Chains A and B, each alone.
Chain A
């Protein structure tokens, strides 16, 4: 009961506090879904919002024009990487994949279960890098990987997130949900304390969003590079003085699936821009 009241208060607060609440994200003439009814599995939230909604007018504007969006410098580098031969097999990505545009739609369904394992876009890329190209695995959130996953996810921009959460995905989804509500760190907080109970509120200088991941990998002004979902999870855990889980590890992959499912129906925005 108290929970329900709190959530209602938050929605009201979000409406009052956020300048960008009613603005529409439109890029190159195309409108994006940044706000929609929450998926049925969410018990405490009625409406879901893209993180774009909560950013300042200036940061929002950077994402609305691909020429101003600093992420595209890194996507250009990834396009070069796409054609770069590396590893023992003498192959580049383009040896096997005709056009990166063929990956349109892929990001909307990730992470997904393959042969009983939960796989992320990063895992899929690394599978090619190691098994098909005969090269050394790329670092999970390293520059090469974050650029390439941003480029591939970008091909789905404007499509809606739609990950599978039932069947063989269910146990991973349950694990992710548990982690989302689990309090950790010396500050003893869960993701939900900030991103479900308090989105729309200011926490010191930060305007709290719902912690959605439909815009990832994304560019952050703070560190002037592409940031990954697991990198962001790690940052939030460190902030509450908790030992973060390993990037690419089972916990963060499960959390990624669960959080992706909290954004079902939002448009993919990769590469988004954040402060």
Chain B
């Protein structure tokens, strides 16, 4: 019984990985147009609840380091480096937000905002981050879905 469960789980994992590899756009294959990214990176709808977590997590988005966000007043210490993100879902379309989160420098040249979905092109990365993007494709989709909920 136990064994059967394990096999079923393994099969599901393989199936999932196989699917993700097929559908997911790799960081360097993302196509930008005027800073925007029109097509979903995963083909799977973003989850705003997950996106909210990624946004505040210091090891993931850590977006709060630079942006104030009235939706997170329970969190102390909102940064002032970037603009407040209240109402950002009114100001920008989904494709804009996907572009900004994936690589903000395509929208705002010379921005301090890190590119969350590139895995090369940066200098002297610490070894454990080398060849990796800060967020996964699905985490980007989740953050974008969350940003779209920020309406005024």
Contact = CB atoms under 8 A, between A and B. Distances in A.
Contacts of B79: 201-204
B115 interface: yes
Interface in B62-77: 62, 64-66, 76-77
Contact of B77 (A188, A198, A205): A205
B90 interface: no
B65 A203 contact: yes
B112 A184 contact: no
Main SS class of interface, B: loop
Interface in B108-152: 110, 112, 114-115, 122-127, 129-130, 132, 134
Contacts of A186: 114, 122, 125-126, 129-130, 132, 134
B80 interface: yes
B81 interface: yes
A186 B76 CA distance: 26
A205 B112 contact: no
Contacts, number: 72
A185 B126 CA distance: 7
Given A186-B134, A203-B65, A204-B64, A242 B126 contact: yes
Given A198-B81, A204-B77, A242 B65 contact: no
Contacts of A197: 112
B35 to A, nearest CB: 16
A243 B77 contact: no
A182 interface: yes
B62 A241 contact: no
B65 A184 contact: no
A189 B114 contact: yes
A13 B81 CA distance: 10
Interface residues of B, number: 25
Main SS class of interface, A: loop
Interface in A43-66: none
A184 B127 contact: no
A188 B66 contact: no
A188 B65 contact: no
Contact of A238 (B115, B126, B134): B126
> Which of A2, A186, A203: most chain B Cβ within 10 A?
A186
B122 A201 contact: no
A88 interface: no
Contacts of B115: 188
A197 B80 CA distance: 12
Interface string A118-146: 00000000000000000000000000000
Contacts of A205: 76-77
27 contacts: A13-B80, A184-B123, A184-B124, A185-B122, A185-B126, A186-B122, A186-B125, A186-B129, A186-B134, A188-B114, A188-B122, A188-B123, A193-B112, A198-B81, A202-B80, A203-B65, A203-B66, A204-B62, A204-B64, A204-B66, A204-B78, A204-B79, A238-B126, A241-B125, A241-B126, A242-B126, A243-B126
Given A186-B126, A197-B112, A204-B78, 12 more contacts: A13-B80, A183-B123, A184-B124, A185-B124, A185-B126, A185-B129, A186-B125, A187-B114, A188-B114, A194-B112, A202-B77, A204-B62
Interface of B: 58, 62, 64-66, 76-81, 110, 112, 114-115, 122-127, 129-130, 132, 134
Interface of A: 2, 13, 17, 182-189, 193-194, 197-198, 201-205, 238, 241-243
Q: Which 5 interchain pairs have the tightest Cβ spacing?
A: A205-B77, A186-B129, A204-B65, A201-B80, A193-B112
